Amino acid sequence: MKESAKKNTLSLVTAALFTAIIAVCSQIAVPMPTQVSLTLQTFAVALCGYVLGVKWSLASIVTYVLLGTVGVPVFSGFKGGVQVLFGASGGFIFGFILFTLLCGVSLRINNKALKLLVGLGGLVVCHILGVFQFAIVYKTDIASSFLMVSAPYLIKDIISVAAAFFLSLYVRKLLNKIHI
C-alpha cells in the first residue's frame, strides 16, 4: 500500500473513531431543566479539532451531525432526528461544526497560548449559536437565554477546552509516531 493511501486510511479511521468518541461523550450527561444537558461533548469536540486538524475534524463532526440528523441516537440523551437540530439545544450542535473548525485551524499557529485562545473563540461561537437558537425556540430574550443555557456551563466548558488542548498535545505526538 502506498504511503499516502496508508496515511489517508489511518486518518479516516481516526476521524471515525472521534465521531464515536463524540457520540459516547454526548451520552455522559446530567439532565438540566432547560433541556440543554451538562455533557462531555465540548471536551470531545475540542479534542477532535485539536487532534485531527481542519479536514479530518470537520469530516468527523459533520458525520456525527449527519448521523444524528437521520435519526441515529447520537445526540445527548440518546436523541436523534432533525427535530433535535431545530430544538432547544440545536444551536449548540450547529456550533460544534464551527467550534471544531476553529480548534483545527489553531493547529496552524505556532504559539500554544494562541492555539488555546482560538479554541476558546470556537467555544464562544458555539455558545452564541446555542443561546440564539434557544431564545428563538422558547421565545425568550437573549439575556434570559444566556443565563439559562450558557452561563451555567461556561466554567465547565472552558476547562473542557483547556483539558482537550493539553491532552491533544500528547495524542498528536502518539499519532505522529504512526504517521497520521
107 CB neighbour count, 10 Å cutoff: 18
Q: What crossing angle do the helices spanning 41-69 and 112-138 adopt, rounded to 10°? A: 50
The domain in which residue 51 lies consists of: 3-177
Residue 3 grid coordinates: 504511503
Q: Which of 129, 121, 124, 127 is nearest to 105 (CA)?
A: 121
C-alpha distances out from residue 20 to 105, 120, 148, 165, Å = 22, 23, 29, 19
Q: How confident is the model at residue 132 (pLDDT cuts 50, 70, 90)?
A: very high
pLDDT above 70: residue 1: no
Overall number of domains in the chain: 1
CATH of the domain at 78: 1.10.1760.20
C-alpha distances out from residue 77 to 7, 27, 73, Å = 35, 6, 8
Across residues 110-126, what is the average pLDDT? 97
Q: Which of 1, 150, 118 is nearest to 49 (CA)?
A: 118
Give 79's DSSP letter: B
Give 29's DSSP letter: E
Where is pLDDT greater, at 49 or 30?
Answer: 49
26 CB neighbour count, 10 Å cutoff: 25
pLDDT number for residue 180: 62
pLDDT above 90: residue 7: no
pLDDT number for residue 30: 81
Which tens digits make up the pLDDT trace of 59-100?
Answer: 999 999 999 999 999 998 899 999 999 999 999 999 999 999
pLDDT above 80: residue 34: no
pLDDT number for residue 178: 77
23-37, 52-66, 73-87, 143-157: range with lowest mean pLDDT: 23-37
